[in-house]
Amino acid sequence: MDEVWLGIAEAGRLFRSGELSPVALTRKLLERIERLDPLCNAFLLRTPELALAQARQAGEELAGGLDRGPMHGIPYALKDIIDVAGLPTTCHSKIRREHVAQETAAVVQRLLQAGAVMLGKTSLHEFAIGGPTEELPWPPARNPWNLALHPGGSSSGSGTALAAGLAPAALGTDTGGSVRNPATSCGLIGMKPTFGLVSCEGVFPLAPSLDHVGPMTRGVEDNALLLEALTGRPGAYTSMLGMRLTHLRIGVIEHFYTEDDTAHPEQVSALEAALGVLRSLGAGVEPIRISKLAAWRDCGRTIQQFEQYAVHRLWLKSRPLDYCALSLSKLQPGEVITQEHYEQAGVRRRALTEELARVLRDFDAVVTLSGLEMPCLIDRPDEIARTYMRNLRMPFSLTGSPALAVPTGFSRDGLPLGMQIVGKAHDEATLYAIARAYCDGTGWTERHPALIAV
């Protein structure tokens, strides 16, 4: 048994049977992080002493009959935009290099109560908006499937840590797709929950009306278990796992990637194969139409640019040279968006949200691609800039709908491919049920990268 690839559920079973201890698993992962993280740069801060102390406490509690639930003793990685009292929250930026959090974010408090073990804080795009660059004090995370490639962002280090076998669970944040992007690029399960379901208290904001905190894992059941811990709702998202899909209706938003924009043919082929699997499992699958992709993108871009500029306005005026060039290029356009334009976008947003809700009255979920491109070379800023917005994730940040990134296989070059499954507000359980049935039927989540150095 190679413990580094254990998931939450499996590791928990071994803890409770006495075949493995939280300390043994934590030590194994810390050793792997020490050996491999210099290759893939998943972590900005490692916390081995804290991790081992938490693991020892978890082991003692479990041995003494105190069981805090599925996350008890489970190691996890935390995006360094989320506060832990006494530790830096750098947001991967020179501007926050000396910042030390005074309080602990609500999501971390939940995980502390659940007995989870924090391995460290992971790298990201600067303030969750920039991109991979060598301009900053810390290097960017790399894709474990090919270390020359971008792992997706902005929760890049969390995705890298999972795919490289450095942690069985991680937290990311998602404003326009920043959980789903690395999940898709690294072959993972990434959930953007219903807006407001998971607290953003203690998380540095990007665009507050779009911001979400979401769980990232290698398997579907693990993702549901982690979301239960984050919300304090045991059983809420695992109760439907194993459900048959024979009574479900699933809509497919094809026109996003066949008419409104173009996608890499391997992404499209993999999605078509995935739809075939869902049909074989008994689900009714049929195409649907909603507003053109441009309407969703334009509305989301206006809202995000206005809000993120408001967050950064003072620093942009007083410390512009402390941002990386990619961050500046994305933050500065918000200066010209007026309050009137922002309010008009809010009206359009409500109309688009109502439109998707009407569609979902007749369907249990909808499916579309996650990304339109393949992961590109990490040292090609022109390609990063060109491909970064070529995705289908913003519509569901705009509506606040739960959206789950799920692998759909691998390209000819061995790179992960993926789709999104989107559902009604607060119906994450149905998305997990669909994803679990699909993943059990394909086995894509069981494959791991070889981690060959550049």
> Which of the residues are catalytic?
79, 154, 178
Cα Rg of the chain, angstroms: 20
Most distant CA pair in the chain, distance: 62
The residues, any chain, with a CB within 8 Å of residue 152's CB and separated by 6 or more, are 143, 159, 181, 182, 183, 184, 185, 186, 371, 375
Order the strands of the 416-422 sheet from edge to edge. 43-46, 117-122, 75-79, 169-174, 212-217, 189-192, 403-410, 416-422, 365-369, 249-252, 284-287
Tokens of 108: 């971390």
CA distance 60 to 15: 11
Residue 61 and residue 25 in contact, taking contact as beta carbons nearer than 8 Å: no
Straight-line distance from the first to the last Cα atom of the chain, in angstroms, rounded to the nearest whole number: 28
Residue 422 and residue 368 in contact, taking contact as beta carbons nearer than 8 Å: yes
Residue 212 bridge partners (DSSP)? 174
CA distance 151 to 376: 9
The residues, any chain, with a CB within 8 Å of residue 270's CB and separated by 6 or more, are 408, 409, 417, 418, 419
CA distance 388 to 375: 9
Query: What b/e string do you get for 160-186 counting C-beta neighbours within 10 Å, with b at 16 or more?
Result: bbbbbbbbbbbbbbbbbbbbbbbbbbb
CA torsion through residues 193, 195, 201, 205, sign = positive
CA distance 61 to 117: 13
442 three-class SS: helix
The residues, any chain, with a CB within 8 Å of residue 60's CB and separated by 6 or more, are none
Query: What b/e string do you get for 25-52 counting C-beta neighbours within 10 Å, with b at 16 or more?
Result: bbbbbbebbeebbebbbbbbbbbbebbb
The residues, any chain, with a CB within 8 Å of residue 72's CB and separated by 6 or more, are 12, 15, 22, 58, 61, 62, 114, 115, 116
